[in-house]
Amino acid sequence: MTNATVLLDPTAELSPVMRPRLARPASLEGRRFGLLDINKARGDVFLDRIEALLVRRGHTVHRYRKPRFSILAPTELKQQIAAQCDIAVEALAD
Amino acid sequence: MHDIRDLEDRGVVGVGIVSAEFSTAAAAQNASLGYDPAVVFIPHPIQDRTDEEMRALADQAFDAIIRAVSASG
Amino acid sequence: MKQFPDGLIAVVKRDCPTCALIEPVLRQLAAQDGLLTVYTQDDPAFPAGAGTVVDDRELENSYHLGVAFVPTLIRVRDGSEAERAYGWDRSEWEALSKLQGLGAGLPASRPGCGSRTQEPGMRARLTVRFGGAIFAARSIPVAPSADDIELCYERGWTDGLPVVPPTRERVLEMLEGTTRKPQDVIGVIPPDRVECSVEKAAINAVMAGCKPEYFPVVLAAIEAALVPEFGLHGVICTTNAVAPVIMVNGPIARRIGMNARENVFGQGNRANATIGRALQLVVRNVGGGRPGEIDRACFGTPGKYSFCFAEDESGGAWESYALEKGYSKQASTVTLFTGDGVAPIIDQSARTPEELIGSYAPCLRALYHPGQVVDVAAFLVVSPEHARIFHQAGWSKQKVKDELRPLLQVRSRDLKRGFGVDDDAERLKRESPDACVPKFRSGTLNIIRAGGSAGLFSAMISGLGSITIGPVTREIGT
């Protein structure tokens, strides 16, 4: 049997098949940003500038870097981001 | 985009910055994940840009990034 | 239904010794021009030299032919089946094929083997694949690189523990556990007030880990939970710690192997664990009752994963809860009541019923608050060793209740406001501080038997109860 797995929806199907994004905050005031560098060339320059612009708006900014661009971020790194940040910006995939 | 999904599952609002070249690949991946993370596209290519050009791209993308992570956007 | 050409059809597999034995017979039949088509279930090279041999390893033809045994020989006439024979029997095969001298030198008959379509789980797989099984529920494809259990988490379908991924095959098998139609509506599930079909219940029962034979109990539990007197909406939304508790009575409890004895409220029994969980998953997924959203419980309770057990009906010295409620011994029932958890009463020295109820009373009076008489209910669970003390003294369950009643009084001066406003209690407190009021209003204290054979214990399951909200019993159907 080579059928692709299909699951049947156990819910009332009130929400769309595509999962919604996490709700966005009404205001960004006081929100902590994490900039996640996926470790591809030139991304650091881009993120340096984003950091400067965020700091100018009064945000706390933490910087993170994946060990390699082609892998998933390690769990510890994601735990650290979740503990320290409200918003994450991941850059720069090309 | 897996990272953004994982971070949102952990309660962190996320946005990915992706070169426009990858818009089709990102859409295909999203369809199979059943998830459509916030993405800001910037013009391709990246690797050969000068520092000055990279900073200009960041300046251009900044408003879109802010819109992608806030409800007012 | 697939059409098959006129002539003879033989369905075989190499793995079957009878099929291997009759390989020469198949060659004899194949020698008749255009007469025979062989479908082979496991090896396209078998049978050798038997003319038209169709590779049916995917079992599509075997499924459409409804083959249960191999070898099966079928005569198709005018596009439909005229005759069928199972196993090898020379006279049957000769009659069916209208040929003489089949299988000279072979034994006159040999029983066959099970068709591969009968392998465990195969029927559901084939029905989904070839039988056009139709589901009302939305299909969610799992990407080849994705983990289906993780997908269930990501979609928010679980209670925190892994669920069994609800594939179409598993749901189909679950639906075979009931005679009810998939599209039948069981009722409207709070808090979102959404109709729950038998199919939606089956999907959630699969995820909970139920076997199909448990499914009628799950359906009855959902029905009971939706009776207004149970107050499911309140149970979901309350800040209290209550969970819906499911108690099963009657022969089905033994039939599906439910636990009423050792560790009755604990882990380890599949039926107890998964039936209770199925109801909770229906509330979560169909009704939308999720913690942090509409579920405002302050503490909650581990029972909100699952709280389900069978009453111990052995011995028969006391009638069961279901008999008390007027159901017959042959009836199987579910009773839904609200429960916070299990609080033990330990009395290892009492030798008489009087001593024992003297231990029960102060424990029961203290439930929720020694001064609370409003909105409190309880199931008192008597273990076999405590029950023996009552049985030996000839105390019926009713006598225990009658003797307990005067001990379960609260002085009105000590009354505490309940969850709701109770003006009568407040006035009584002012005007007659020495008057007594019962801890449990009529019907809000129930007594049942359960538990292991060793342990001089009883237990209390406290919960919400009032004049309008109380336990609900429903007979389990098919």
Query: Residue C421 pLDDT > 60, yes or no?
Result: no
Mean pLDDT for chain C?
A: 93
DSSP bridge pairs for C249: C333
ipTM: 0.89
Q: Which residue of A has its CA nearest to B22?
A: A94
**pLDDT for the residue A1:** 41
pTM of the predicted structure, to 2 decimals: 0.82
CA C122, C218, C174 angle in degrees (round to 5)? 10
Identify the three-state secondary structure at position C265.
coil
Query: Residue C248 pLDDT > 60, yes or no?
Result: yes
Q: Does the distance separating the beta carbons of C145 and B34 come in below 8 Å?
A: no
Domains present along chain C, CATH in parentheses: 7-130 (3.40.30.10), 151-475 (no CATH)
From chain C, pick out residues whose CB is under 8 angstroms from the CB of A7. 139-142, 148, 151-152, 165-167
From chain B, pick out residues whose CB is under 8 angstroms from the CB of C140. 34
Q: How confident is the model over C401-405, as a mean pLDDT?
A: 95
Domain ranges of chain B: 2-69
- What's chain C's length in residues? 478
C-alpha to C-alpha distance for C84 and C72, rounded to whole angstroms: 7
Closest CA–CA distance from residue B59 to any residue of chain C (Å):
34
Query: Residue C420 pLDDT > 60, yes or no?
Result: no
From chain C, pick out residues whose CB is under 8 angstroms from the CB of B35. 154
User: Does residue A4 contact residue A31 with C-beta atoms inside 8 Å?
Assistant: no
C441 CB neighbour count, 10 Å cutoff: 17
Cis peptide upstream of residue C47 (ω within 30 degrees of 0): yes
From chain C, pick out residues whose CB is under 8 angstroms from the CB of A14. 192, 194, 288
Question: DSSP assignment of C166-204, as one string?
Answer: -BHHHHHHHHTT-SS-TT-EEEEETTTTEEEEHHHHHHH
The encoded tokens of residue B27 equal: 């859409």
Closest CA–CA distance from residue A33 to any residue of chain C (Å):
24
Pick A94's closest partner by Cβ from B14, B44, B59: B44
Q: How confident is the model over C214-225, as a mean pLDDT?
A: 98
Q: At which residue do the structure tokens 């369905």 appear?
A: C11
Task: Give whole-number Cα distances, C174 to A7, C202, C207, in Å.
Answer: 14, 6, 11
| Pairing of β C376-382 and β C445-449 | parallel
Q: At which residue do the structure tokens 């194949």 appear?
A: C30
**pLDDT for the residue C424:** 76
pLDDT tier, C146 (very low <50, low <70, confident <90, very high otherwise): confident
C271 CB neighbour count, 10 Å cutoff: 24
Residues 6+ away with beta carbon under 8 Å from A34: A61, A62, A63, A64, A81, A84, A85, A87, A88, A89, B12
C-alpha to C-alpha distance for C262 and C350, rounded to whole angstroms: 22
Closest CA–CA distance from residue C143 to any residue of chain B (Å):
6
Pick A87's closest partner by Cβ from B19, B69, B72: B69
Q: What is the pLDDT of residues B22-52, one digit of tens each?
A: 777 777 666 666 778 899 999 888 888 899 9
